[in-house]
Amino acid sequence: MGQSAIASAFAGLVPMEARLVAQLPGEAGWQFEPKWDGFRALILRDGDRVAIKSKSGKGLDRYFPELVSLVSGLPGPPRFILDGEIILPLGGVLSFDALQQRLHPAASRIARLARETPAELMLFDCLWMGDATLSAAPLTERRGRLARWHARIMRPALNLSPASHAYDEAATWLAQAGGALDGVVAKELDQPYSPGERAMLKIKQRRTADCVVGGFRQSDEGAIASLLLGLYNEEGALDHVGFTSAIPSSERGTLPQRLAALVAPPGFTGKAPGGPSRWTRGRSNKWVPLRPALVVEVLYDQVTADRFRHGTRFLRWRPDKAPGQCTQDQLQHELKPSQIAALLSH
């Protein structure tokens, strides 16, 4: 037997994406939603079959068996395709780090984590419901169908993302971004679902931190490839928190000599940069320690487990700042439990 129509549609489906813009649109005709800090996922139910796949098309079913069970056990309709985010509440906040730990090859570990730290779904779009394909319908219709269905289901761990047409409410969400929220998404109310296209807008909060340069890495040619960044923890030890490789060209000529004068172990007295890993494919990941004397201001987006999740952007040197003033309390982590509860009960 061949695939059903809904399974065939799901097989080739990729999510609609967003392009980064500097500010929220202020005119009418837009719906705003929090941009959740989780794993983007498309969810299929086709009778007894449930499939969950990532934005890249990889299957997520085996990593989140509790979500497969959740979707399998829902009352009708027996067929739907939903768009949403996998989130993981942990200790009153949402933890991206705990989500990453679920991507593990050992089935026994996945089963244990599914019991101990179950994930949830945060839904925000509906592409198919029952016998109706909705991709060509405007957002207002898709969101209405999703909201009415969700109101009938009302299951724990099955959340409907807040949505608002109010600019002021979206601005409040944007101010909270950086932990559980990754920013705000803006969608046109009369817009169809456009798979693979950057047809939505996303707005992120700019955040900066003053960091100690605790070391550096060199390229194969001997140039400065990246500066290793540190912040002092509560015990007074310098923890490695990330890196910046976007060094201005005006700095590249004089930087090697400047850093050479500061080379001295240990560099980091708390958490230190790691060595070769599966991510470096066996390449050398050696680094050179520096005396903690240089302070640099960087632009960052997200913090996970007391580290910048992505590379940062070099902004400027801070000769006016003492290294000891560069502490971890600068960083904005997850939303407070009360803020999470307010959003989830929206």
Q: Of the candidates 83, 80, 61, which has an alpha carbon nearest to the alpha carbon of residue 17?
A: 83
Residue type, 157: A
Tell me the three-class secondary structure of 156-212, residue by residue.
CCEEECCCECCHHHHHHHHHHCCCCEEEEEEEECCCCCCCCCEEEEEECCCEEEEEE
DSSP sequence for 270-300? SS------TTTTT-----EEB-S--EEEEEE
Q: Of the candidates 18, 22, 32, 343, which has an alpha carbon nearest to the alpha carbon of residue 206?
A: 22
230 DSSP 8-state letter: E
| Nearest-angstrom CA–CA distance, 264 and 274 | 18
Tell me the three-class secondary structure of 92-123, residue by residue.
CEECHHHHHHCCCCCHHHHHHHHHHCCCEEEE
Active site residues: 35
Count of residues making up the chain: 346
Q: Of the candidates 94, 14, 100, which has an alpha carbon nearest to the alpha carbon of residue 63?
A: 100
